[in-house]
Structure 1
Amino acid sequence: MTQRLVVGITGATGAAYGLRLLRRGRELGLETHLIVTPAGVLNIHHELGLDRQSFEREASFAYAPGDVGACVASGSFATAAMVVAPCSMKSLAAIAHGFGDNLLTRAADVTLKERRRLILMVRETPLNLAHLRNMTAATEMGAIVFPPLPAFYHRPQTIGALIDESVERVLELAGVAGAAPQSWPGLKA
């Protein structure tokens, strides 16, 4: 059976992570289910120069955020995981407090209640106390808070290489077969 991955895109900076996640998912044979918030569309257009339809073509299936009756809103729709890439502080707050007011936050709530992996690529800096408390609440419910912080020990030469490494780590956390993050080689004496 093909692995399913739900991908959410919100209004935080970092739309390139979501795009790379969808493309890498296709390379790995995943069935991807995409939900983009209205603010996410603004960032996709600003950061990547893509419109909603162009971006949605990168996914196997795409849903409007108001479509709370979509298949991903039900626990009976089995998925490997859900990744919100990027995850705004607004969406984090809604997820952390069970406020399923749109399909993205409802799908995240379903992911948590079914004890599946929910990975939140939160994007904000600096963090205030509300952000930290919401991250704690989401973690206590079973989410994985994964700010896409770049690793430099592999000496990446491009922004794309930094994005790729974060995406590979997320895919590995999601339990996706074929994910290939670079492992720490250790220091050589």
Structure 2
Amino acid sequence: MKKKKIVVGISGASGSIYAIHLLEALRKIPEIEIHGTVSDWAYENIKLETALKKNDVTALFDKYYNAHDMGANIASGSFLHDGMVIVPASMKTVASIAYGYSDNLIARSADVCLKEGRKIIMVPRETPLSTIHLENLLKLSKLGVHIIPPIPAFYNQPQSIEEIVNHTTMKILDHLEIENQLSRRWSNDK
């Protein structure tokens, strides 16, 4: 059976926990092969927000590429995959992709997804959002990018940060068409 290839880009916004949880969830699925990269600023946030070291993060990928390696497989349209997730997505990364400014491997890989018509899921992490941020996100949405802000749901009565993060991870996996039961889904059944 051919493995499903998912590309994950971690950019330098707060919220690295979302990326780590997504990578951990994907690693539990033997039919998934994870390719990806982490920006320099993402590593700074990971140091601030978690106890993980760089090697801990890179070990979560099946194929890890340096964020400055513009010759990496994921930078080419001939590299076939089943979707890209940018989590968290900084507003710099959002702007870079919206305007085709491929200054690092995350932006270049997303640019390739756009030109090849491949699925991109973006998890923007910023608040409040300026008009510029909203316009950039709208532009990407019009280009077919799935925008999934990490906004918690409370109908499932989360009891921990992990349960809140799992809800967003569930939504990302849903958009990648990967079955999962990471969080309780809405039901009006009494």
TM-score (normalised: structure 2): 0.94
Q: Give, as a single letter, the amino acid of the residue that structure 1 aligns with 2:92.
A: K
Q: Deviations over 1:89-133 (max 9, x none)?
A: 000000111111111100011112221110110000111010000
Match of residue 24 from structure 1: 25
CA shift digits 1:39-59 (9 cap, x unpaired): 000011110122212210111
Secondary structure at 1:5 match in 2: strand
Tell me, in whole angstroms, the C-alpha distance in 1 between the residues paired with 2:127 and 2:71: 34
Tell me the CA shift for residue 187 of structure 1. Answer: 6.4
Pair 1:172-2:162 in alignment? no
Q: Which of 138, 149, 152 does residue 151 from structure 2 map onto?
A: 149
Cα distance, 1:156 vs structure 2: 1.0
- Unpaired segments ≥5 residues, structure 2: none
| CA-based RMSD | 1.2
Map 1:1-189; keep pairs closer than 5 Å. 1-29=2-30, 30-176=32-178, 178-180=179-181, 182-186=184-188, 188=190
Q: Distance in 1 between matches of 2:82 and 2:185?
A: 23
For these two proteins, the number of residue pairs brought into alignment is: 187
- Measure, in 1, the Cα distance between the counterparts of 2:117 and 2:177: 14
Could you tell me how far apart the structure 2 residues matched to 1:148 and 1:161 are? 12
Output one character per residue of 1:144-172: Cα deviation in whole Å (capped at 9) or x when no partner: 11101001101111100111111011011
For residues 4 and 179 of structure 1, the distance between their equivalents in structure 2, rounded to whole angstroms, comes to 17
AA aligned opposite 2:15 = G
What SS does the corresponding residue of 1:49 show, helix, strand or coil? coil
Q: Which AA in structure 2 matches 1:4? A: K
Q: Aligned partners of 2:184 and 2:77: how far apart in 1?
A: 33
The two structures have a TM-score, normalised by structure 1, of 0.95
Shift of 1:183: 2.5
Structure 1 gaps of 5+ residues are none
Question: Quick check: 2:67–2:104 contact (8 Å CA) kept in 1?
Answer: yes
Percent of matched pairs sharing the same residue: 37
Deviation at 1:34, TM superposition (A): 1.9
